[in-house]
């Protein structure tokens, strides 16, 4: 005879606390024949929150959203006060839109016309609650471009950061498919067939953060652009130290900076500089003139010379290691170009083809046609003159600098050159497709904000040691795996993070971004 025991116990609700969170279960009694007694089934109900039971598992997930990269990036935005600075001049919604575009460009540098599709799959679309459709972005860029927002923002940023007075300055060309008045043909190395706009930028040297930028017509040479930037910066930083490339070396610019500290590479276009090269080269290579820079010996000699009505001080350097690299590169490229030219088929427009291939190396060889073949011959005097300049350079300065300090500070120019490379490659700024000048100006402003955030992220990676383990791109890719799940009711739940992801977020969560 089978006995069916009667279970008098009722279903019970029990709570379990784990890491400060309360989880609720239903305990259901049943008769266990093996032990001939009562046992229990446990059924998960949900998590207790503010006295209410939230039935997490009763709601099916709707989609997962990319979340990880926005944790450090939004931390940077908050630390630098970018949102507050934008809201001084724009509406709160417009400020959120600019931040959303700038951050999206860092994580996934898509064309602005395609950004909305990717953006909808991120947690940033939920927190920002903005529209990044192509038409809305164009309207916003147009509004920004018509205003003086970029100068007002730079002034606010400088006041917020209180930067030091040591500044890096450079300019780059940005080509565009558009046809507007500010776009003109210039000397762009990238896309020389397109019209361009010139973008100059000022970066604080110590923290490597861009603090200002200006826009110029594409045909304006680098040497002319400095005055406007210096005049604007002096209003906010009265006494500056500015580090410049040889493209800005001119008597007019040196007069402009006579009351400031500066370090600038001298251009061989000046006859006075050529005389310094000829004289100093004969006596620089002596043991008493050696300085050690990054474990490599470099010969250096202090010089003084006149350029017009200016008396200039400088250091003439000879870097043997750099000379060897430049000589090797020179002869390799010269040989490649001569070989390409000698393989050309003789035709009516052969001279144009030769000029195009030879480019700046045209002065180092001659060519002739013999038996329907092209023959080239080296111009040894011109090559010797080029060799005498290899590894040698002159840095002119105003201020109190030793030879090693002058060289070290000047080599920091690499930081702003890297910023321009990030702008053009990692953030994918060009070629731009804005249809109006105002739209192009607006786009450049948003890219400038992206560059500020990206620079702060790089600084944070350096200070936390993350840069020893990851490149910026690889770290962002790893963080893209950190996702949240959205359920049918719009609630977001964090997914489990790996140890690698936790280590990155923990390291970046305990640093100063500026």
DSSP 262-305: EEEEPPTTSHHHHHHHHHHTTT--SGGGEEEETTEEEEEEEEEE
Calpha distance 312→316 (Å, rounded)? 12
Question: Which two three-digit tokens encode residue 49?
Answer: 């929150």
**pLDDT tens per residue, range 318-343:** 999 999 999 999 999 999 999 999 99
Identify the pLDDT of residue 329. Answer: 95
CA–CA dist 404, 291 (Å, integer): 7
Q: What is the DSSP string of 372-427?
A: TEEEEEE-HHHHHHHHTTTTEEEEEEESS--HHHHHHHHHTTHHHHHHHHIIIIIS
Is residue 226 classed exposed, middle or buried when 0-12, 13-18 and 19+ CB atoms within 10 A define those classes?
A: buried
The Cα-based distances of 262 to 158, 270, 302, 404 in angstroms read 20, 18, 16, 15
How many residues make up the chain in this entry? 514
Report the C-alpha gap between 505 and 500 in whole angstroms.
9
510-513 — which CB contacts under 8 Å span 24+ positions? Answer: 510/464, 511/460, 511/463, 511/464, 512/79, 512/463, 513/75, 513/76, 513/79, 513/80, 513/456, 513/459, 513/460
Fold of 191-318+391-435: Transposase Inhibitor Protein From Tn5; Chain A, domain 1 (3.90.350)
Q: Which two tokens stand for residue 254?
A: 């040196």
Can you read off the two tokens belonging to residue 90?
A: 């724009």
Q: How far apart, in whole angstroms, are the C-alpha atoms of residue 176 and residue 165?
A: 34
Q: Are 96 and 130 in contact (CB under 8 A)?
A: yes
Token pair 């709601």 is found at 59
> Is this model's pTM higher than 0.75 or not?
yes
Q: Are 479 and 71 in contact (CB under 8 A)?
A: yes
- H/E stretch holding 29 reads strand 21-32
Locus of tokens 């029990």: 14
Which pLDDT value is given to residue 37? 84
Strand order in the sheet with 37-49: 12-18, 21-32, 37-49, 52-54
**For position 4, what pLDDT does the model report?**
36
Q: How far, in Å, CA of 125 to CA of 121, rounded?
A: 7
Beta-bridged to residue 513, according to DSSP, are none
Q: Tell me which residues of the chain have a pLDDT lower than 50.
A: 1-8, 183-186
Domain boundaries, the chain: 12-58, 63-190+436-514, 191-318+391-435, 322-387
Could you tell me if residue 19 is left (phi over 0), alpha (psi between -120 and 50 degrees) or otherwise beta? left
Q: By three-state DSSP, how is residue 484 classified?
A: strand
Looking at residue 11, its pLDDT comes to 74
Cis peptide preceding 431, ω within 30 of 0? yes
Instruction: Please return the burial class of 157, using the count of CB atoms within 10 Å of its CB with bins 0-12, 13-18 and 19+.
Output: buried
CA dihedral 187, 326, 269, 185 (to 10 degrees): 0
Q: Is 77 helix (H, G, I), strand (E, B) or coil?
A: helix
Query: Strands 166-175, 290-293: parallel, antiparallel or unpaired by DSSP?
Result: unpaired
3-class SS string, 123-172: HHHHHHCCCCCHHHHHHHHHHHHHCCHHHHHHHHHHHHHCCCCEEEEEEE
Q: Are 407 and 298 in contact (CB under 8 A)?
A: yes
Structure tokens at 327: 């000589």
Question: Cα–Cα distances in Å, from 470 out to 34, 347, 474?
Answer: 57, 53, 6
């Amino acid at each position: 005879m089978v006995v069916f025991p009667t279970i008098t116990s009722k279903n019970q609700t029990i709570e379990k606390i784990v890491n400060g969170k309360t989880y609720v279960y239903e305990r259901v009694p049943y008769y266990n024949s093996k032990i001939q007694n009562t046992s229990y089934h446990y059924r998960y109900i949900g998590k207790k929150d503010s006295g209410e039971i939230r039935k997490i598992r009763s709601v099916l997930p709707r989609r997962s959203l990319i979340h990880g990269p926005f944790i450090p990036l939004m931390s940077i935005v908050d630390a630098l006060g970018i949102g507050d600075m934008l809201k001084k001049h724009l509406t709160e919604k417009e400020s959120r839109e600019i931040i959303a575009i700038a951050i999206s460009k860092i994580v996934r540098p898509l064309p602005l016309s395609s950004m909305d599709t990717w953006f909808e799959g991120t947690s940033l679309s939920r927190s920002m609650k903005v529209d990044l459709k192509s038409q809305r972005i164009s309207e916003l860029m147009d509004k920004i471009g018509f205003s003086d927002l970029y100068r007002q923002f730079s002034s606010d940023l400088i006041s917020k950061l209180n930067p030091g007075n040591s500044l890096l300055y450079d300019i780059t060309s940005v080509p565009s498919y558009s046809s507007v008045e500010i776009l003109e043909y210039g000397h762009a190395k990238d896309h020389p067939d397109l019209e361009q706009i010139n973008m100059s930028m000022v970066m604080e040297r110590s923290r490597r953060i861009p603090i200002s930028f200006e826009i110029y017509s594409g045909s304006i040479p680098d040497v002319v652009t400095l005055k406007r930037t210096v005049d604007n910066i002096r209003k906010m930083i009265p006494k500056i130290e500015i580090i410049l490339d040889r493209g800005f070396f001119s008597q007019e610019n040196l007069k402009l900076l006579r009351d400031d500290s500066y370090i600038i590479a001298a251009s061989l276009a000046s006859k006075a500089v050529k005389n310094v090269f000829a004289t100093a080269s004969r006596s620089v290579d002596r043991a008493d003139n050696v300085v050690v820079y990054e474990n490599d010996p470099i010969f250096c000699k202090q010089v003084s010379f006149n350029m017009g009505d200016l008396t200039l001080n400088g250091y003439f350097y000879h870097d043997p290691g750099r000379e060897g690299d430049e000589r090797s590169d020179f002869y390799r490229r010269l040989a490649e170009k001569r070989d390409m030219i000698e393989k050309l088929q003789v035709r009516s427009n052969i001279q144009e083809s030769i000029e195009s291939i030879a480019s700046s190396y045209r002065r180092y060889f001659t060519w002739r046609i013999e038996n329907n073949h092209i023959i080239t011959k080296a111009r040894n005097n011109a090559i010797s003159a080029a060799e005498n300049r290899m590894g040698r350079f002159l840095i002119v300065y105003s201020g109190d600098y030793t030879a090693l300090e002058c060289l070290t500070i000047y080599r920091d120019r690499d930081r702003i050159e890297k910023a321009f490379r990030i702008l053009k490659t990692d953030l994918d700024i060009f070629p731009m497709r804005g249809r109006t000048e105002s739209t192009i100006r607006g786009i450049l402003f948003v890219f400038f904000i992206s560059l500020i955030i990206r620079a702060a992220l790089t600084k944070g990676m350096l200070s936390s040691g993350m840069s020893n383990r990851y490149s910026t791109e690889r770290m962002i890719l790893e963080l893209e795996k950190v996702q949240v799940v959205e359920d049918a009711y719009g609630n977001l739940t964090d997914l489990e993070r790996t140890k690698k992801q936790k280590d990155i977020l923990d390291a970046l969560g305990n640093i100063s971004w500026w």
